[in-house]
Each structure stands twice: as C-alpha cells, then as structure tokens.
Amino acid sequence: MKNRLLKSLVLGVVVMGLAWACQPPDELPIIPKISYNRVEFFDEATGSDSLILYINFEDGDGDIGLRGSEENYPYNKYNFIIDSSNPRKFVFIGGDNYTPPFYSAFDENFNRLPQQTLFSETDIRRPYNCEQYEEVEYFPSQTATTTKIDTFLVARNPNNQNIFVDFYRKVNGNYEFLDWANVFSSNGCGGNFNARFPIFDTDNLGKSLSGTLRYSMLSAGFGIVLKKDTFKLKVYIKDRALHDSNVIETPDLTLDNITLN
C-alpha cells in the first residue's frame, strides 16, 4: 500500500508539453538564456494535479532538446563506479575489498567513458537509496551464457536531462529546499521534477531560435505538500552542447493564487 501511494504522489510525475514560436533573433549567444513567463495550477478532482511552468528561451545555435532515444554518452542516465585497484572492478552495494578512491569510468551500457573522473576519495557507500544505486542485469563475463543481477554503485549523469526545477518553500520568512525525493520516501526514491524536453526544430538545428517552453509537472502530492504555503521555483535548462543557461527564480507563489479551475 505504501509503495502504491508513493507512486501516485511522486514517481513518474513529470510530463512535457510544448508551446513555442520560432523567431529569427539577431546574433544571439550560443549559451541558452531563459526568463520567467508564468506558472499555472490545475486542481484535478481525480488523478494527478498539474503545475505548468512557462519560460521564455533563446539560443543562438538552436541546439536545444533531446530525443527520448538518446541514451548513449554524453546523455546516458548514469555511470558505473570502479575502485583504484582494478580498472574493471565495479563497486557493488554489498561488495568488499575495495580500495578507494572510486572513479566514474563506464556508462550504463558498460562502455568505457572517454575519461574517467573522480567519484569519491573514500568508500561512501550507504544503505540502499535510489540516488546512489542501480539494480542491473548483466553478463558476469564475456563467456557467460546466463545473466546475473547486482546492485551497482553509480553516479547519476545530469546531462541525461535538460530542464532542472527545484522547489523552495517559505518557512518563517526563509526559503527551504523541498526535497521531493524524500518527501514520501525514506530512501530517496520519490523522484524529482528534472526531465528532458524534445528537439524543437530538427531541420533548423544550428540556427537562432527563441520561443516559450510549456513544461507540465503532474503529481497528486502538490496539494498535500504545498497546501497554503508560499513557495518558489528555481529553473535552468541545458543545451545539446551541455551549456547551462542562466538560473531564474519565480516570484512568490501559492497554489490558490495560480489555480485556473
């Protein structure tokens, strides 16, 4: 029952919608720039409520958006972690005899990354959590004919997504980060509102592009968590060349003030 409730409130809550206009702005920089437009809230009688964010964007070379099928480096979901004693010794949740430091070295398809990077100077494995571990089915050797399932230590790849939304709730006059991953979960499995939006105009990649992005977030938990509270969002996007845009903040919001029905 608890798992079903968690799924209905948080997991799988992000969907995308687009409302954009292609314009020919003059000599825009290739690093994307965004600005706040508005936020709307739809309180559904049944099912998930919708919090819809509108942001204006512009990008000098129009390389915005990711296809759903783009899961290879540099857009893969996560990287496997190895220890310093063996370049092919993967770190598992319950393994032992590891020698830190740990390195991010292989993508989720077990392909070696162009360059391994430091993940941790020490053994930072903790009890299972959805941020740090991934359960993977794999062939344990090149000659194996049957697969095995293990829980690997992984590094999440932020380049897998291209829109990033953080919530901040106002408490006693100060804003506090609202960690959706742990609101209904004790192991960080509640998810968040980061996602990816698709390519706007494949035929015109490389050309200046501007418009408005309509980003819809679904959750049955908005009314439960935010209630009558004041909150705000911090948002940025990333282009295909992995340039981060500026970070914008919404004004103070309440669900009552942005509800449309």
Confidence (pLDDT) at 152: 97
Last residue in a domain, options 157, 182, 210? 157
- Given 124, 157, 190, which residue is the final one in a domain? 157
| Rounded Cα distance, 43 and 70, in Å | 33
For residues 60 and 95, membership in a common domain is answered with no
**Do residues 32 and 104 share a domain?**
no
User: Looking at the structure, do residues 135 and 197 belong to the same domain, yes or no?
Assistant: no
Q: Which domain holds residue 23?
A: 2-66+161-258
One domain, residues 182 and 219: yes
State residue 16's pLDDT score: 57
* Model confidence at 216: pLDDT above 50: yes
Is the same domain home to 184 and 126? no
- Over range 84-91, report the average pLDDT: 91
The closest alpha carbon to 104, from 140, 77, 69, belongs to 77
- Same domain assignment for residues 254 and 186: yes
pLDDT given for residue 119 in this prediction = 97
Looking up tokens 């204006």, which residue turns up?
Answer: 56
Domain identity same for 61 and 172: yes
108 and 35 part of one domain = no
Alpha-carbon gap, residue 208 to 62, rounded angstroms: 5
Summarize the chain as % helix, strand, coil (round to 5).
10, 40, 50
| Residue 135 forms part of a structural domain | yes
160: DSSP letter: G
Q: pTM here?
A: 0.88
Q: For residue 238, how many C-alpha atoms fall within 13 Å in the half-sphere facing its CB?
A: 18
pLDDT in tens, 26-77: 578 999 999 999 999 998 876 788 999 999 999 998 899 999 899 999 999 9
Among 135, 157, 179, the domain boundary falls at: 157
Domain presence at residue 72? no
Q: 23 pLDDT exceeds 60?
A: no
Q: Say whether both 47 and 111 belong to one domain.
A: no
The tens digit of pLDDT for each residue in 101-150 reads 999 999 999 999 999 999 999 999 989 999 999 999 999 888 999 999 99
State whether 243 and 219 are in the same domain. Answer: yes
Count how many domains the chain has: 2
Contact between residue 201 and residue 209 where contact means Cβ atoms under 8 Å apart: yes
Q: What pLDDT sits at residue 13? A: 42
> Mean pLDDT, the chain, as a whole number?
88
